[in-house]
Amino acid sequence: MYPTVDPVSLATALNISMDCLDALNTTLPCDPILLDMAQTVENYWWEADNVTTLCNASCFVAVQDWDADVQARCYYDTLVAYNTIVPASSVSGRYWDGVQFACLTSGNATEPDGWYSDDDTSWCIIDSQNWVGSDFIKPNCTTDPTNAFCSDPTNLDVESTRIANLYGNDVLCSECFIQTMYQRVISPYLPDHDFSDYLIGEYLDILDVCNYTNAMPELIIRALPDYSMAMPPPVNLTNVASDTVCTGQTIVTSTLSPNANCNSLSQAFNAATGDVQTATGNTNCTTLKTSFCLQQPCTLRLVPNNATCDSLSASFSTANLTVTSVQLLNWNPNINGLCDSLTVGDYVCASVPGGSYVPPVPPAGSANDGGQQRGGGDGSAALNKTTSIPSPIQSGVTTAGCKLFGQAPAGDYCYNFAQEFNIPLDQFYLWNPVLGAGGAKCSTNFWAGNWYCVSGPASAASSTSTSTSTTATPTSTAPAVPSPTQTGITPNCNKWAAASGTDYCYIFAQEHGITTDQLYAWNTVLGSGGSNCSTSLWKGYYYCIGVSG
C-alpha cells in the first residue's frame, strides 16, 4: 500500500503507531485496480468478469481479515485527511465496505459474513445497472397547472419521491434491490445528511410494501462519528535565518506577467516545473510573495507520456555521460509524480542546475598532453569534434558546407559552447537554426551529446538540414511522396520532412517554420490539437510541412 520507505519515518510522518502501520501495510491477493474501484463502487460501470475477479474467495476473505486486523491494531490511531481527524482504521474499512457492496448476489446477501458461491445466479451490482426508474414523479403541468411543482420545481410532495412509487414491484421487491438498499444504509460511512435519513425511511417503507420485514436483520442505530478538525502544525520560526541569501535566481514577482503560469515560468528561467511550484508555494505557480528564489538554470526537457526516472535518465545519457536515476533526482529534487509514473507535460532538468564546471584553458606553450590540466596544450582534447557528419544530430543543423562539428557536453549552454570553439554567438546560431533566431530555443533544443556545426559556410542560406526534406517546384503535377509516411496526411502536400527520434510535435513544427496548428491540419494522423503526438510522430517517417495552393 505504501512506497518502499523507512517504516519508522513513515509512521512518524503519519503520526500512527508502528503496529498500526504494520497492519495497514499488507499485501492482498486482489486485483489492485478493481480493489481501488471498490472504494467508490457506485462511481464505476462494472462488467460481470470484473466483479467475478474482485469477489473471488481469496480476495474477499483477505480484505475481510485485513480490515479486522486493522480495526484491532489501529483502534487508538488517527490520520489527518482533508483537514479532518479520521480513524486510521477507516483506510481498510472503506475497502471492506466497498467490497461487500460490490460482491452482493441474489443468493447470499442475508448472510452478514458470506460471499458468493457457484450456485449464485447474479451479481446485484450488475443487475442494478439495468434497473429503470426515476428520481421523482413529475406532475403534468398541462393538465394540472395548479400543482405546486409547476411554479416551484423543488416543491415535491412525499408521494412523488417515494421510492416504492418510482419502481415496479418486479424491481422494488427483488432480493437484490432490497439487499442493496440494506447494504447502503448500514454502511458505517453513510454520511450524516438529510438524504441518508430519507434512504433509511424509504428502506423501511420498501420492506413493508414487499412484506419483507421479517426476512431482514433489524437496523441498529449507529453513533455518529465525531470527526474533529485537524489543527495546523505549529510553525517554528526560531530556526529561520533572517538573512537568507538566494544562491540561485531571485525572481521579483512584480516583474512577471499576470498571466504567467508554471510552464511559462519554467521556460523563462530554465527551471523545472516542480521547482517553480515549490518556490512559489503553489501548484499553479502563483504567489503573494514579493520575490522567490529559483535554483540556477538548467537544460530543460518535457516529460513525455509513460516516462519513468529510468527512461528519462537513459534519454539524457550520451556516449560521454551516463545519467543515472539518482542524478536525475538530484537535478530535480521536486519532480512531480512517482518514479514509475512521472507527470506528463512537466519540464525537468536534463543537466546540472547552474551547469557543470568548465576548466580554464591551460597556459599557452605548455606541452600537449591530451588536454589534461596537468600538462595540456590548448585544452581542445576535452571537446569532441569531427569533420564528417556525426550522429546524433538534429534536423535544423547545417551539414552542407559545415567544415567542423562539435559535440555538446552535459551542462553546457549555447554561450559556453560557442566560447569553447571561439565563435561568435550570432554565427553559431546562423549555422544551427534549430536553436532559433538569436538562440531563442537554446533552453529546449541544445541537447547534451548532440552535434552542432561550429565551422560552417560563410552563409547558411545555401545549406541543408540533416532531416531529409523534399520541396516540389510548383508544377501542374503533384510532387513525389517520400517514404515511409503514414495515412492521414493532406493530399496537396508539396513539402515533407522526416522526424528525428527526439522530436516533439511543437519542436518539429518550430524547426520547419510552421505553426503547430498547420502541422496538425496537414497531418491529421497526429490527432486533433496534436492529441496523438506522443504515439504517432515516428522517427524516420515523413510528415507534411507545406502545401500547394
Per-residue model confidence as pLDDT tens for the chain (549 residues): 545 567 787 788 788 899 999 999 999 999 999 999 998 888 889 999 999 999 999 999 999 999 999 999 998 898 887 667 889 999 999 999 999 999 998 865 434 344 444 444 589 999 888 887 777 777 788 888 888 777 777 777 788 888 888 888 888 899 999 999 999 888 888 877 788 888 889 899 999 999 988 888 888 777 766 667 665 554 443 443 444 688 888 888 888 887 788 888 888 888 999 999 999 988 888 888 889 999 888 988 988 888 888 888 888 887 777 888 888 988 999 998 888 778 888 999 988 887 654 444 444 444 444 443 333 333 333 578 888 988 889 888 988 889 899 998 876 777 778 878 888 877 888 898 888 877 777 777 888 888 999 988 764 333 333 334 444 333 334 567 888 888 888 888 988 888 875 556 777 777 777 888 888 899 998 888 777 776 778 877 889 989 886
Query: Under a CB-based contact definition with an 8 Å cutoff, are residues 460 and 398 in contact?
Result: yes
Nearest-angstrom CA–CA distance, 354 and 180: 61
C-alpha cell at 159: 408521494
Nearest-angstrom CA–CA distance, 291 and 256: 10
Burial of 280 (0-12, 13-18, 19+ CB in 10 A): buried
Domains of the chain, by residue range, sit at: 7-132+167-215, 249-349, 380-462, 469-547
Whole-number pLDDT of residue 382: 58
Query: For domain 469-547, which architecture applies?
Result: Roll (3.10)
Give the length of the chain: 549
Whole-number pLDDT of residue 451: 92
Nearest-angstrom CA–CA distance, 446 and 299: 8
Q: What is the 3-state secondary structure (H, E, C) of 108-171?
A: CCCCCCCCCCCCCCCEHHHHHCCCCCCCCCCCCCCCCCCCHHHHCCCCCCHHHHCHHHHCCHHH
Whole-number pLDDT of residue 304: 87
Query: Under a CB-based contact definition with an 8 Å cutoff, are residues 462 and 429 in contact?
Result: no
Residue 470: strand pairing partners: 496
Whole-number pLDDT of residue 64: 94
Binning the chain into helix, strand and coil, the percentages to the nearest 5 are 35, 10, 50
Whole-number pLDDT of residue 549: 66
Q: DSSP characters for 343-408?
A: PTT-EEESS-TT----PPPPPTTPPPSTT-TTT-SSSGGGS-EESS--SS--TTSB-TT--EEEEP
Whole-number pLDDT of residue 94: 92
**CB neighbours (10 Å) of residue 268?**
15
Whole-number pLDDT of residue 5: 64
